[in-house]
Structure 1
Amino acid sequence: MGAHDWGPVVVSVVLFILLSPGLLFQIPARTRVIEFGSMSTSGIAILVHAILYFCIITILLIAVGIHIHSD
């Protein structure tokens, strides 16, 4: 077996956890534009966070080219 690239896996998991709506922050919130640690979510917030996730992961994996190799 050759070396495996763990960069996309690590970046995806970390971003998925950090960008979960309501965990650290939520855009848009129910009463404001942004709320921190509300632990609640809505459909539009899920859509906004999914778009943020896609944009950030695309920048990190394709433009920056993060790679973590293991033998």
Structure 2
Amino acid sequence: MSDWGPVFVAVVLFILLTPGLLIQVPGRNRLVEFGNFQTSGVSILVHSILYFALICIFLLAVGVHVYIGS
């Protein structure tokens, strides 16, 4: 059996935390902007730190496991 939990968590977090797709922290004019499809260097840094923190929490602390197959 293969464990697809880490792959699933990484893909979902990558999609949700892509700067400018759903949210951008910090935004160009405000602290948080929604769906503006723009990004900046600071925004990329903030989103990468959030991604790293959340993936560590979900994979190491919570231990998400999804088994597919027999």
- Taking structure 1 as the reference length, what is the TM-score of the superposition? 0.94
Once residues 5 and 24 of structure 1 are traced to their aligned partners in structure 2, the CA distance between those partners, rounded to angstroms, is: 28
| Structure 1 spans left out of the alignment, 5+ residues | none
Shift of 1:45: 0.1
> What's 2:50 paired with?
52
C-alpha distance in structure 2 between counterparts of 1:62 and 1:38, whole Å: 32
Query: Per-residue deviation at 1:69?
Result: 1.0
Of 16, 19, 23, which aligns to 1:18? 16
Percent sequence identity is: 61
- 2:51 alignment partner, SS class: helix
How far apart are the structure 2 equivalents of 1:37 and 1:68? 30
Aligned counterpart, 1:64? 62
1:61, 1:38 → 2: CA distance? 30
Stretches of structure 2 that go unaligned for 5 or more consecutive residues are none
**Alpha carbon RMSD of aligned pairs, Å?**
0.6
Amino acid aligned to 1:4: S
Aligned partner of 1:33 in structure 2 is 31
Q: TM-score, normalised by structure 2?
A: 0.95
User: Structure 2 CA distance, aligned partners of 1:24 and 1:54?
Assistant: 18
